[in-house]
Amino acid sequence: MTIIEATKQAIEKKCGIARPFKGHVFSYLIPTNGSNAHYILIGLDRDGKFDGHDSKFWNPTADDILSDEWELYELKEKA
Protein backbone atom coordinates (compact mmCIF):
# COMPACT_ATOMS: atom_id res chain seq x y z
CA MET A 1 0.00 0.00 0.00
CA THR A 2 1.12 3.61 -0.31
CA ILE A 3 2.60 5.54 2.59
CA ILE A 4 -0.61 7.57 2.81
CA GLU A 5 -2.79 4.46 3.11
CA ALA A 6 -0.37 2.87 5.58
CA THR A 7 -0.19 5.99 7.74
CA LYS A 8 -3.99 6.31 7.94
CA GLN A 9 -4.37 2.65 8.94
CA ALA A 10 -1.47 2.78 11.42
CA ILE A 11 -2.97 5.78 13.23
CA GLU A 12 -6.32 4.02 13.41
CA LYS A 13 -4.84 0.71 14.60
CA LYS A 14 -2.12 2.29 16.78
CA CYS A 15 0.73 0.44 15.10
CA GLY A 16 3.75 1.25 12.98
CA ILE A 17 4.51 1.06 9.28
CA ALA A 18 7.44 -0.52 7.48
CA ARG A 19 8.83 -0.87 4.00
CA PRO A 20 10.54 -4.27 3.95
CA PHE A 21 13.87 -4.68 2.18
CA LYS A 22 14.36 -8.09 0.56
CA GLY A 23 11.66 -9.54 2.79
CA HIS A 24 13.09 -8.20 6.06
CA VAL A 25 12.08 -5.29 8.27
CA PHE A 26 15.14 -3.47 9.65
CA SER A 27 13.23 -0.50 11.04
CA TYR A 28 9.70 0.77 11.28
CA LEU A 29 8.04 4.14 11.65
CA ILE A 30 5.46 5.30 14.14
CA PRO A 31 3.33 8.03 12.55
CA THR A 32 2.41 10.84 14.95
CA ASN A 33 0.95 14.32 14.97
CA GLY A 34 3.48 15.53 17.53
CA SER A 35 4.99 18.98 17.25
CA ASN A 36 8.59 17.70 17.57
CA ALA A 37 8.35 14.60 15.39
CA HIS A 38 5.91 13.41 12.77
CA TYR A 39 7.38 9.96 12.25
CA ILE A 40 9.49 8.19 14.87
CA LEU A 41 12.01 5.73 13.40
CA ILE A 42 12.67 2.56 15.42
CA GLY A 43 15.72 0.41 14.58
CA LEU A 44 15.55 -3.39 14.73
CA ASP A 45 18.21 -6.08 14.92
CA ARG A 46 18.29 -9.20 12.73
CA ASP A 47 15.83 -10.95 15.05
CA GLY A 48 13.30 -8.15 14.74
CA LYS A 49 13.93 -6.85 18.27
CA PHE A 50 14.55 -3.25 19.25
CA ASP A 51 18.25 -2.54 18.69
CA GLY A 52 18.52 0.40 21.07
CA HIS A 53 18.19 3.07 18.39
CA ASP A 54 15.27 5.33 17.75
CA SER A 55 15.09 8.75 16.21
CA LYS A 56 12.57 11.50 15.70
CA PHE A 57 14.18 12.30 12.35
CA TRP A 58 13.55 10.42 9.13
CA ASN A 59 14.82 11.48 5.73
CA PRO A 60 12.81 9.53 3.16
CA THR A 61 13.99 9.08 -0.40
CA ALA A 62 11.75 9.75 -3.37
CA ASP A 63 11.51 5.95 -3.74
CA ASP A 64 10.21 5.70 -0.14
CA ILE A 65 7.51 8.28 -0.77
CA LEU A 66 6.43 6.84 -4.12
CA SER A 67 6.54 3.17 -3.05
CA ASP A 68 3.42 1.03 -2.84
CA GLU A 69 5.26 -1.55 -0.70
CA TRP A 70 4.42 -0.10 2.72
CA GLU A 71 2.78 -2.40 5.23
CA LEU A 72 1.54 -2.20 8.78
CA TYR A 73 3.98 -3.29 11.46
CA GLU A 74 2.80 -4.36 14.87
CA LEU A 75 4.78 -2.70 17.62
CA LYS A 76 7.02 -5.07 19.49
CA GLU A 77 8.28 -4.70 23.03
CA LYS A 78 11.52 -2.84 23.38
CA ALA A 79 13.71 -5.61 24.76
On whether residue 37 sits in a domain, the answer given is yes
Element housing 11 (H / E): helix 3-13
Please give the residue range of the domain that contains residue 45.
3-73
Element housing 17 (H / E): strand 16-18
On whether residue 13 sits in a domain, the answer given is yes
**φ, ψ of residue 37 in degrees (nearest 5):** -155, 140
Number of structural domains, the chain?
A: 1
On whether residue 19 sits in a domain, the answer given is yes
On whether residue 16 sits in a domain, the answer given is yes
On whether residue 79 sits in a domain, the answer given is no
On whether residue 10 sits in a domain, the answer given is yes
Proportion of the chain above pLDDT 70, given as a percent: 78
| Digit-coded pLDDT (tens) for 42-56 | 777 767 677 677 777
What's the pLDDT band for 69 if we cut at 50, 70, 90? very high
pTM for the whole structure? 0.75
On whether residue 78 sits in a domain, the answer given is no
